[in-house]
Amino acid sequence: MHIAESEIRRAAQTIKTGGIVAFPTETVYGLGADVFNARAVARIFDVKQRPAFDPLIVHVHAKSQLQQIAEEIPQSAAMLIERFWPGPLTIIVRKKKCVPDIVTAGLPNVGIRMPGNYNALALIKEAGVPIAAPSANKFGYVSPTCAEHVREQLEDSIDIVLDGGRCEVGVESTIVSFSHRKPLLLRSGGLPVEEIETVIGSLCYPESDTMANASPGRALRHYAPSTSIVIGQSLEPTSGLRKGLLAFNRKTLKNSDGYYAVEVLSENGDLNEAACNLFAALRRMDKLKLDVIETTSVPSYGLGLAINDRLKRAAQRRN
């Protein structure tokens, strides 16, 4: 869905003059500011209640904008850019000095991506500056995949919400860091790792989640609704609990008796469709005041890796 040019222009003007704007991308909605305006970026952290140690991804509309913010692009990163941009891939490379420290949480590296979404590209181009943008949700909560999700949480505290309809991918970008000897996968996401590996060979995978310093935002509990999530269907009687079931497909839905609500992510078990529906389904269930949401995990390939990662993090108990 193309947003009217006049609306894009107004939003770009808001970014240029230090405002913050929610906008669609192919993955999830972002909350953006001029990357070079530290005060505007600080407002994003404030509105999201995001800890200062969690860096933001910078969005560009053309490869020419890379030189403004990246010191150097290693060859393997350049190969991925060539093949997959615009698209759901973020690369982490050395930053230029002009990128304010608040954007990268003090790190010497910056995350960059070119979103595969007409409206996002039009906005960045019109703004004339790269746009720093995290997902447009309160920190730790499920990412927004339509404008309504953004409005529910943030409408009163941000300047504009651009409505470009539903995000077609539905999970955040895949993040690959080039700040180590070998390319390191920091987050599985909308671009399957198998596709990346066909271009640059095998990636390093963080050994464990305690390798959080490589990516400060890899908080264990994340993407979480307020309702408790459990991975797996319990076989016990429901004992009066108000339970929801988030099933991958019809087949994995062994038994829907005793559930107050059931969501099927993809009738026929299509991982792309399931990823696209995941966050909206979690948000719908979260409104039902359930005692618990049970989920079935999905196959561990393609977008299934990203789905399982989000479910695992959402299922982490609060400290």
User: Binding to ligand TXA by residue 56, rule CB under 6 A?
Assistant: yes
* Number of residue whose CB is nearest ligand TXA: 217
Residues in binding contact with ligand TXA, number by CB under 6 A: 29
User: Binding to ligand TXA by residue 107, rule CB under 6 A?
Assistant: yes
Rg for the chain, CA atoms, rounded: 19
User: Binding to ligand TXA by residue 135, rule CB under 6 A?
Assistant: yes
90 binds, among Mg ion, ligand TXA, none (CB under 5 to 8 A by kind): ligand TXA
Range in contact with ligand TXA (rule: CB under 6 A) among 13-21, 62-70, 211-219, 253-261: 211-219
109 binds, among Mg ion, ligand TXA, none (CB under 5 to 8 A by kind): ligand TXA
- d(CA 234, CA 224) in angstroms, rounded, equals 20
User: Binding to ligand TXA by residue 25, rule CB under 6 A?
Assistant: yes
Nearer to Mg ion, 137 or 296 (CB): 137
Using an 8 Å Cβ cutoff, are 22 and 147 in contact?
yes
Q: Identity (one letter) of the amino acid at 33?
A: A
User: Binding to ligand TXA by residue 57, rule CB under 6 A?
Assistant: yes
Of 34, 163, 172, 263, the one binding ligand TXA by CB under 6 A: 172
Nearer to ligand TXA, 104 or 296 (CB): 104
Residue 223 Cβ vs ligand TXA, minimum distance, rounded to whole Å: 9
The dihedral region occupied by 124, where left means phi > 0, alpha psi between -120 and 50, and beta the remainder, is alpha
Residue 306 Cβ vs Mg ion, minimum distance, rounded to whole Å: 13
56 binds, among ligand TXA, Mg ion, none (CB under 5 to 8 A by kind): ligand TXA
Strand partners, 293: 229, 244
Range in contact with ligand TXA (rule: CB under 6 A) among 111-119, 121-129, 148-156, 253-261: 111-119
314 binds, among Mg ion, ligand TXA, none (CB under 5 to 8 A by kind): none
Q: Which spans of this chain sit near Mg ion (rule: CB under 5 A)?
A: 135
User: Binding to ligand TXA by residue 123, rule CB under 6 A?
Assistant: no
Q: Nearest CA to 226 among 153, 295, 291?
A: 291
- Scan for tokens 């700040």, then name that residue: 179
Of 11, 80, 110, 271, the one binding ligand TXA by CB under 6 A: 110
- 168-179: burial string, b at 16+ Cβ within 10 Å, e else: bbbbbbbbbbbb
User: Binding to ligand TXA by residue 134, rule CB under 6 A?
Assistant: yes
- d(CA 207, CA 294) in angstroms, rounded, equals 27
93 binds, among Mg ion, ligand TXA, none (CB under 5 to 8 A by kind): none
Residue 54 Cβ vs ligand TXA, minimum distance, rounded to whole Å: 5
User: Binding to ligand TXA by residue 90, rule CB under 6 A?
Assistant: yes
Using an 8 Å Cβ cutoff, are 260 and 288 in contact?
yes
The dihedral region occupied by 149, where left means phi > 0, alpha psi between -120 and 50, and beta the remainder, is alpha
User: Binding to ligand TXA by residue 217, rule CB under 6 A?
Assistant: yes
Which residues, numbered 225-264, are part of the site for ligand TXA (CB under 6 A)? none
Q: Nearest CA to 116 among 190, 180, 224?
A: 190
Residues near ligand TXA (CB under 6 A): 25, 27-28, 30, 54-57, 88, 90, 92, 104, 107, 109-111, 113, 115, 133-135, 172-173, 175, 186, 215-218
